[in-house]
Chain A
Amino acid sequence: MLNDDKLIIGGHEFQSRFILGSGKYSMKLIESAIRDAGAEIITLAVRRANTKEQENILDYIPEGVTLLPNTSGARNAEEAVRIARLARELGCGNFVKIEIMRDTKYLLPDNQETIKATEILAREGFVVMPYMYPDLNAARDMVNAGAATIMPLASPIGSNKGLATRDFIQILIDEIDLPIIVDAGIGRPSQACEAMEMGAAAIMANTALATAGDLPLMASAFRQAIEAGRKAYLSGLGRVLTRGAAASDPLTGFLRD
């Protein structure tokens, strides 16, 4: 069953539901993290790629892995659009993750500017993956603007606090027809598993791995947790009893027809 279960983003098919962030750890670990996490998509900050550095991250990305350049550093739609175009010029392909922050402390995304950037970049043929604060109205606007997925945050980026926005992400999963990829704040495999059980299409994580003692081991733990959560979701989770036991004699048993 899982073999036919593909993640489809902008017409591209992926087997893996783990998107790896690359911003916070050593390049030499990236290759093993990709292997052990089974990731097929890896994000790349354009501001980090735009370098003459001896060690360019592109050298460490294996064949067959899709690059997802992000627009970190952009403070409004205009800047995000410029960074996305630069990414395309640098040969990073058509995928772009829009990140627009007007706050350097929490790095919370600006939904309004993100909607604007989504519209422009989708029109230019990008596969647009907007990182956003989980708000249903904003998500709908992003869908209408041409987004390929919606990427709501679970909690503030880097915080490892897990699904602080759980109920609002659930609303997006229930109401939006695009894949919902939970991004930012996932600190442990169990949290990734929970998001997948809820019906998230994929998980993106970076800090959780970067700050782990053994990065490749943590990467494989995430891989297994995401697969477990996906299987649970596909199998249909069992009934959850929130209070007491189920009455064996139904309350409505007296009804005659």
Chain B
Amino acid sequence: MENQFFVDSEFLSPAALEKKHRLETDPSSRTNHMEYMPGMEVIESDICSKVMSQMDNYDYTIYTARDVRAALDHDVCTIEDFKALLSPAAEPFLEEMAQRAQRETGKHFGNTVYLFTPLYIANYCENYCVYCGFNCYNHINRMKLSMEQIEHEMKVIADSGMEEILILTGESRAQSDVQYIGEACRLARKYFRMVGLEIYPVNTDEYRYLHECGADYVTVFQETYDTDKYESLHLLGHKRIWPYRFDAQERALRGGMRGVAFSALLGLSDFRRDALASALHVFYLQRKYPHAEMSLSCPRLRPIINNDKISPMDVGEKQLCQVICAYRIFLPFVGITVSSRESASFRNGIVKIAATKVSAGVSTGIGDHESKYSGKETDGVKGDEQFEIDDGRSLDTMYQDMADEGLQPVLNDYVYV
């Protein structure tokens, strides 16, 4: 059964409803998702064609147990080996894959695990991405924090002991422009040792500006590398332009960012092909920019406000674990982040195998850290969440739990240079 993404709100005007329905049902009413919009920078790059030709030719049904065994025997995991490890033929080898992944993680990261927290500063969005709680047709409490409110949130988070922060916004240039985000980065550098960004994709000069403001790491989720599927899920707005999003990490690196993070949202399309493309996106970009730090996230679809039926479909925990182990074996040097979308028990297990970074003290809402951290209700208006989280552990609890798992929790591994 497919996910049922379309939900109508009684608060939409008849005209808005009609437009929404037309977008949903009539593909000809939608713009060309492969055509850049005015103002979007086009860069010369061969990364996309390399990734896509591999993904287009990937038939995971041809791989056998023999290919998987060979892949596990090889010292260096080739692209072909990686394809075998992502295939259904590898499912019976999950334990072997986990053991190999654990060894690779140990060599590159020892037993450290990094902790961070996201800070959503605005949830306005101009896009209609049918699976996302922030989508412009979803009736939620919208909010954009002022600089004073952002600073308050940051103080609350910093007081909890957190040293790394990831600043997020909904994808609205009109409501949350680059200047606004830049000012938030400057504030964040006062309170945190490391500042990352997860915002709408921008041009190289804008990444350079944000880097100068103190951001050093850029995360952009491609959601799905299947362009046809992407078109059917991102019906309206800047985000609809698939190739502009694909080149975001490369623009960020050209703008001086130290590191970039990647991901497909598993469950949107064929997860094996999306996992292949995500890892190859990292692989080819790393060859072109060998100094850059790279990391992969592995989010699965989650329920959202007004639609609690969204699920990760065929990506169960075993499949997710297989993908993460395959990532680790193919890209032993890459950071792997597992978010609070996953359960505490899954995260406790996966950090011992392959994940190197987990979030803690998470809220995906706007302006609610004080009430969430202190447990007391505050007067201020709050913005609604992007999606439901599963693992709600605080920093202290996470720190202790990771230590109890025999790991070394690390709050900062960064020095601005």
Q: Mark A158-186, 1 if CB is under 8 A from B, else 0.
A: 11100000000000000000000000000
The answer to whether B417 touches A25 (Cβ under 8 A) is no
The yes or no answer to A105 lying at the interface (CB within 8 A) is yes
Total interface residues on A, CB under 8 Å, equals 36
Contacts of B417 in A (CB 8 A): 73-75, 78-79, 82-83
| Complexed CA–CA distance, A45 and B112 (Å) | 14
Residues 88 to 104 of chain A near chain B (Cβ within 8 Å): 101-104
| Complexed CA–CA distance, A47 and B410 (Å) | 11
| Complexed CA–CA distance, A46 and B117 (Å) | 22
| Residue of chain A at shortest CB distance from B112 | A24
The yes or no answer to A137 lying at the interface (CB within 8 A) is no
Known: A24-B109, A47-B415, A210-B110. A105 touches B410 (CB 8 A): no
Contacts of B411 in A (CB 8 A): 51-53
The yes or no answer to A27 lying at the interface (CB within 8 A) is yes
The yes or no answer to B107 lying at the interface (CB within 8 A) is yes
| Residue of chain B at shortest CB distance from A52 | B163
| Residue of chain A at shortest CB distance from B289 | A104
Of A25, A50, A104, A158, the residue contacting B193 (CB under 8 A) is A50
Known: A27-B408, A83-B417, A105-B333. A53 touches B286 (CB 8 A): no
A160 to chain B minimum Cβ distance, whole angstroms, is 7
Q: Mark A221-245, 1 if CB is under 8 A from B, else 0.
A: 0000000000000000000000000
Contacts of B286 in A (CB 8 A): 104-105
The answer to whether B163 touches A47 (Cβ under 8 A) is no
The answer to whether A104 touches B107 (Cβ under 8 A) is no
The answer to whether A160 touches B193 (Cβ under 8 A) is no
Contacts of A26 in B (CB 8 A): 111, 403, 406-408
The answer to whether A53 touches B163 (Cβ under 8 A) is yes
| Complexed CA–CA distance, A52 and B164 (Å) | 11
Contacts of B290 in A (CB 8 A): 102-105
Known: A52-B161, A104-B286, A105-B286. A83 touches B111 (CB 8 A): no
| Complexed CA–CA distance, A206 and B108 (Å) | 11
Residues 91 to 113 of chain B near chain A (Cβ within 8 Å): 103, 106-112
The yes or no answer to A112 lying at the interface (CB within 8 A) is no
The answer to whether B333 touches A207 (Cβ under 8 A) is no
The answer to whether A160 touches B291 (Cβ under 8 A) is no
The answer to whether B108 touches A51 (Cβ under 8 A) is no
Contacts of A79 in B (CB 8 A): 417
The yes or no answer to B310 lying at the interface (CB within 8 A) is no
| Complexed CA–CA distance, A74 and B291 (Å) | 10
Centre residue among B107, B290, B292 by max chain A CB count within 10 A: B107
The yes or no answer to A86 lying at the interface (CB within 8 A) is yes
The yes or no answer to A54 lying at the interface (CB within 8 A) is yes
The yes or no answer to A23 lying at the interface (CB within 8 A) is yes
The yes or no answer to B293 lying at the interface (CB within 8 A) is yes
The yes or no answer to B294 lying at the interface (CB within 8 A) is yes
Residues 367 to 417 of chain B near chain A (Cβ within 8 Å): 399, 403, 406-408, 410-415, 417
The answer to whether B163 touches A160 (Cβ under 8 A) is no
The answer to whether A86 touches B415 (Cβ under 8 A) is yes
The yes or no answer to A48 lying at the interface (CB within 8 A) is yes
| Complexed CA–CA distance, A83 and B109 (Å) | 21
Known: A48-B410, A54-B399. A104 touches B333 (CB 8 A): yes
Residues 40 to 83 of chain A near chain B (Cβ within 8 Å): 45-48, 50-54, 73-75, 78-79, 82-83
Contacts of B415 in A (CB 8 A): 46-47, 50, 73, 83, 86
Contacts of A75 in B (CB 8 A): 291, 417
Contacts of B112 in A (CB 8 A): 23-24
A102 to chain B minimum Cβ distance, whole angstroms, is 5
Contacts of B193 in A (CB 8 A): 50-52
| Complexed CA–CA distance, A86 and B111 (Å) | 26
Contacts of A82 in B (CB 8 A): 417
Contacts of A206 in B (CB 8 A): 110
| Complexed CA–CA distance, A50 and B194 (Å) | 11
The answer to whether B410 touches A210 (Cβ under 8 A) is no
| Complexed CA–CA distance, A160 and B415 (Å) | 27
Contacts of B294 in A (CB 8 A): 104
Contacts of A210 in B (CB 8 A): 106, 110-111
| Complexed CA–CA distance, A45 and B408 (Å) | 15
Contacts of B106 in A (CB 8 A): 24, 207, 210-211
Contacts of A159 in B (CB 8 A): 107
| Residue of chain A at shortest CB distance from B406 | A26
| Complexed CA–CA distance, A52 and B414 (Å) | 12
Of A23, A47, A53, the residue contacting B110 (CB under 8 A) is A23
| Complexed CA–CA distance, A83 and B414 (Å) | 11
| Residue of chain B at shortest CB distance from A211 | B106
A75 to chain B minimum Cβ distance, whole angstroms, is 5
A100 to chain B minimum Cβ distance, whole angstroms, is 10
| Residue of chain A at shortest CB distance from B410 | A48
Contacts of A46 in B (CB 8 A): 415
The answer to whether B161 touches A54 (Cβ under 8 A) is yes
Of B109, B291, B406, B414, the residue contacting A102 (CB under 8 A) is B291
Known: A54-B161, A75-B291. A25 touches B107 (CB 8 A): no
| Complexed CA–CA distance, A206 and B109 (Å) | 11
- What are 29 pairs between A and B in contact, CB < 8 Å? A24-B110, A25-B408, A27-B408, A46-B415, A47-B413, A47-B414, A48-B412, A48-B413, A51-B411, A52-B411, A53-B161, A53-B412, A54-B161, A73-B417, A79-B417, A83-B415, A83-B417, A86-B415, A101-B291, A102-B290, A104-B290, A104-B292, A104-B294, A105-B333, A158-B107, A159-B107, A160-B107, A207-B110, A211-B107
**Apart from A23-B112, A211-B110, 8 more pairs, CB < 8 Å:** A26-B406, A45-B413, A73-B417, A74-B417, A82-B417, A83-B415, A104-B293, A211-B103
Which 6 pairs, one residue from A and one from B, show the smallest C-beta to C-beta distance? Answer: A24-B110, A79-B417, A47-B415, A158-B107, A51-B412, A210-B110
